[in-house]
Amino acid sequence: MNYNLFTVLKITSLEERTLNGALVLKDKTQFIWPQIDEDDSSILSRANRSARDSTDLEITLAPMQIRTFIATVQTTNK
């Protein structure tokens, strides 16, 4: 069953938020991680480049793949 919510709801405002919805996106400050030069031959460096285990389901999303919005809606008289 499909139901079009926009036949009974009208969006009156829309505000983009951080992923968890806690902050208005435009008010968020970007954290800049310190960079440490790493020797390419180090054990940690080689481990980070090794193939992933197929049972490891933890992934990192690239920016802009998920977005969060707070919408204010008003019911219509339809």
Q: How confident is the model at residue 59 (pLDDT cuts 50, 70, 90)?
A: low
Distance CA 73, CA 77 (A): 13
**What phi-psi label fits residue 55: left (phi over 0), alpha (psi between -120 and 50 degrees) or beta?**
alpha
pLDDT value at 41 more than 60: no
Predicted TM-score (pTM) of this structure: 0.48
Q: Indicate the helix (H) or strand (E) that contains 44.
A: helix 43-49
Residue 74 pLDDT exceeds 60: yes
- The pLDDT of residue 58 is above 50: yes
Query: Which tens digits make up the pLDDT trace of 5-37?
Result: 878 888 888 888 988 888 888 888 888 877 776
Task: Return the domain boundaries, the chain.
Answer: 1-26+64-78
Return the pLDDT at 40: 54
